């Protein structure tokens, strides 16, 4: 019963997280501006958080084993990072091609690069995106 309750709480405890934003200046002198936006996402997984859930849901030796696993995974992933590790780390490589498709003139200004996530326990949707303005020649 305890495990079912814990899993229900975790499933309902989703949240959004903004990891980083970078904003460039806007050049309004070369033509009309049209907003463009491109987003890519991939599934991320936090193994240390999953081990912590296993520790909470277990008793005795199993809980100690999950705690050891959680500590090892946390030590392996020390250092600066944004977001959870993803299954395919090349998921955003086509971002430039999609921006070029959205802006045929090739002139882009006011670029805002975004890294965010939508998380539900140890699983997350890791999202990268660009909002910008396409300069259309008048």
Q: What is the mean pLDDT of each run of 10 residues along the chain (138 residues)?
A: 56 65 80 90 78 74 74 64 72 86 90 85 84 85
Which pLDDT score, from 0 to 100, does residue 133 have? 92
Q: How far apart are CA 110 and CA 133, in angstroms?
A: 6
Which pLDDT score, from 0 to 100, does residue 96 have? 85
Which pLDDT score, from 0 to 100, does residue 131 have? 92
Which pLDDT score, from 0 to 100, does residue 77 have? 60
Contact 19, 82 (CB under 8 A): yes
């Amino acid at each position: 019963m305890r495990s079912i309750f814990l899993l229900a709480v975790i499933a309902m405890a989703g949240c959004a997280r903004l990891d980083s934003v970078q904003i460039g200046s806007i050049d309004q002198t070369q033509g009309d501006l049209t907003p463009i936006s491109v987003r890519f996402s991939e599934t991320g997984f936090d193994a240390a958080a999953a081990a912590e859930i296993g520790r909470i849901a277990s008793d005795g030796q199993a809980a100690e084993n999950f705690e050891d696993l959680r500590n090892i995974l946390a030590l392996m992933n020390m250092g600066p990072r944004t977001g959870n590790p993803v299954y395919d780390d090349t998921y955003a490589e086509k971002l430039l091609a999609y921006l070029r498709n959205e802006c045929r003139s090739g002139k882009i200004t006011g670029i805002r690069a975004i890294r965010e996530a939508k998380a539900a326990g140890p699983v997350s949707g890791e999202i990268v995106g660009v909002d910008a303005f396409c300069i259309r020649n008048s």
